[in-house]
Structure 1
Amino acid sequence: MSAGISIGSLFMGGITVGILMGLFMMATVYIIAKKRGYPKHKRSSWSERIKSFFSALPALLSPVILVGGIFSGYFTPTEAAAVAVFYSLIVGIFVYRELKWKDIIRVMTTGIENLGLVILLLINLLLFMGTFMETNASILILTPILMPIVTQIGVHPVQFGVIMIFALMIGLLTPPMAICLFLTSKLGGISFQRAFKAVTPYYIGLLIVLLLINVFPQITLAVPKLLLGSSF
């Protein structure tokens, strides 16, 4: 929004990036599993795969509903968060029947605790703004400065937007602040040091993807061009 780029275009530009990132993460998992000698599970039969697919279909429809709703204009990206919560409640309570009212209360309590933690982290970010920069601040400050430069050198605004968001996403996982890593380690009940050590190999794949989307514009631009045609 700071650069005047369509959020829908950014979503579409990130589709191939997400697939590429997933492939590199899968490769990283495979290498780690082979190196550490993790046990192999018996290969599932086609009937088991089909059964699992239909069992997971209500959950898999969630991103389809969200992305489709945003593209069609039924709700904004901000409203999509509320839709996601409501849909998850319906599926969890009435479809899978695994979500109980006591679980909902526990989730709400955990959410309030995490909100307090986030507020504390934001206060720390404000105190150390001279050295560490929060993501939204980075977007608001850097986008107006960098956008004229990237357009002059021929970089498409959508490609630039995807690159910037992807790079900032990596920053959210990287110390010294690493807000996302700090929150997930707390939710998982493990130390920050152990979590950082565990995710370290994944930085290689993420950095390779970041390099590829910088060098090859079509990775981010192919899907928007295909779906939007001449209007893109």
Structure 2
Amino acid sequence: MQLIPERHDVDPTCAVAIQHSLQALSLLDLPTEVLLQILGNLEVCDLLAASRTSHLLRRLALAPILHRLRLRRTRAVLPPLLTSPSRPSLADLIRRSIFMTNTTVVSRKLARSLVSIRLQHRLATRPSPEALVARSVLPPECVPYGGGCSAKAVGAGLGAAVPVAPALVARRRAVERERVKDGLRRFVGSSWRGEVQTREEGVRRWEERVGVGRGRSREHTVFAVMGAM
């Protein structure tokens, strides 16, 4: 797009300077009236985002004339939308729980009050932590020894000086089980390697005594030694 028409009476140097000055223009260089028209066509979220980019746009976004312009445009656009046949009726809005009547609000408050009363009653009649520990519902670490367990019971693992959450207790036990499994794996692995080395040493000594290749293969010799063990 050519911004400056070609004229023979224009100095080429001036034309290049004007071209560069036009390319260097930004949004903030536009007149205030144009910026107000642009901001007036934005949605609320977009207007808020634009107001955070510069002090000028923030000042224009807070200008009363801009909001009067937006209200005037909304008053012109809103009535056709309200009378549109695609707009749902009041009965549909009530059925979808979008529009709440006074009866709906009162019934919801009553239902919440009933739920609160039932919850308080059940919380008051729930068993104590000590009873849950006795029933093996909670681990003993979840109950402090001050609430029914002695210090001796704590030493035996039947309580804790500070109550611990059941999830933490379960996690600690899982870590301990994995630690025991790792120890067993290492023990079994080392024992198996020692047994294999012992059998290989026995096979080697057997071969040294009877010799290999005297009517027997190495496989037969190994099987014979393992059978003798």
Where on the TM-score scale, by shorter chain, does this alignment land: which range? under 0.3
Higher helix fraction: Structure 1 or Structure 2? 1
TM-score by length of 2: 0.21
Q: Which has the higher contact order (CA 8 A, sep 6+)?
A: 1
Relative to the length of structure 1, the TM-score reads 0.20
